[in-house]
Structure 1
């Protein structure tokens, strides 16, 4: 039986991840601030991961085979986690994001080495505690968090760079609802003048991937994305199936005003590393109709 800790994991693919770990026979410890209880059978530790003493006190003498950090957004959080879990775990898996590639303007699918966290400058003095600043610098926060973990060669970390996630009735983002509302009313959908495709992953698939990563032995960054890219037009076509009375209208606008899942630059990730390591991804175009049906609460 493995000892696995999950920091966060109270919603969306985090919940599914915990279910998979427990189904596999792992003893799972969920660490959060107490806002939500974990599934029955999981150990629950209440701590503020932003407070080093709080985290240390909650953990006591516990050690883990794997820690999966679902809610590390800043280098400050990474610094605390690295200090607290050094010597406590044989493997530390951080959920990162495709947004770390926000400055990599390439039409080709981007590989992990496009952003080497060993070369990323870390600035702990930036206002990471300001929600507006953090929201506006989401990719930078994740980049710098990765840099903190990789700065210690003895710390066995993995950064799972997650593609845009779709699917599930519990998708809390409202991004597909944005398209549903506009298609239903015929209101224009704002997109950049040159609208690039992106890679995506189904909510069940990313839970599978994280559970698989927990049991693997590789380290460093790894891209997690289904095969194939999807365009905004393809997403809208899948939504429009469920809004037959609607009309899809696109309008070119400035980048800052664009709709979700429309991009002025490419957000396509190369998943070759994970594939070579042994994970079998699905095809985005195959699961897209079901993902949209799930989120919109439709039968497909």
Structure 2
């Protein structure tokens, strides 16, 4: 009998939502994705301590200014951890541009190019790297330029149809529509619990997948931010699913078949004029949940980056 994890891999590419090397080796995902919150957790893992010490020592030799040391150490550490992950997974590893740059297109592009350059210095080609950017108007425009330079992007913190459409039209490589955080918002607003089939986050991601299929977009849709395996299994067939170690363990422990729930068999013939900035901002603004969760997500990532910078400063 196959496990649910093995069965799920027949329909969707599984991505590990962690920086834990042991978990990545155990569950053998195709790709891995990181963010400041996950790097913060990885900072305390025993397996990374020698890498952290080497990176910080290297930074001290390169710059003397304390503030510059912390900024450089953050980038180098993210890339060092990402490089370790890239050596394990057959596919790509996602590395995030600072959430604090979410509304600065030029700074986001500059940081993305710097991250790719740091990876290449460690022997990891840009084809193995996805640059994660928040799905703001500025982040999407930055991704559009970077894609044309051959730097593939993963647009994250995606909660609205407007964000998804803008990403598709910009030709980004991959988007990460969130499931759990969408459902969290509706549960708080309504006081309801949801089953997999009426789950607002699941419905949202299914809608994004259908839109991509109906309009013939090649952008990869990767469901993210899962709270339980019911949500994961309800999106079997979505291009990719990024899953935490705890849920990967649960899927690997359960035996049983998995039914495809998402199809990519749309005609791909529908067409729309590209949306303008004003249309994007208005349509996103009309979705109260998406507005709240995008702003909250950027703040959370920025807060975790501040904590990580504090830990780095102490170690330096």
TM-score bin (small chain): 0.3 to 0.5
TM-score by length of 2: 0.32
Q: Could you say which structure has the higher helix fraction?
A: 2
TM-score by length of 1: 0.33
Larger RCO (alpha carbons 8 Å, 6+ apart): 2
